[in-house]
Amino acid sequence: MKIDVLGVGFNNLTLEEAVQAGAGLVETEGFHYTVTPNPEFLLTARKNDAFKQALLGADLVLPDGVGVLYSAKILGRPLKSRVPGIEFAQGLLAWMAGHGKRLFLLGAKPGVAELAAANLKSTYPGLIICGTHDGYFQEDGPVVEEIRASAADVVFVCLGAPKQELWMVHNGPATGAHLMIGLGGSLDVFAGVVERAPKTFQKLGLEWLHRLIKEPKRFGRMAKLPLVLWYALGARIRRR
pLDDT in tens, 139-163: 999 999 999 999 999 999 999 999 9
Question: What is the separation of C-alpha 122 from the centre of its chain, rounded to a whole number of angstroms?
Answer: 23
Q: What is the mean pLDDT of residues 85-95?
A: 98
Q: What is the mean pLDDT of residues 164-173?
A: 98
Tell whether pTM > 0.85.
yes
For residue 10, the cross-strand partners are 3
Element spanning 130, H or E: strand 128-133
pLDDT of res. 236: 82
Q: How far apart are CA 191 and CA 197, in angstroms?
A: 15
pLDDT of res. 219: 47
Q: What is the mean pLDDT of residues 69-89?
A: 96
% of the chain exceeding 90 in pLDDT: 80
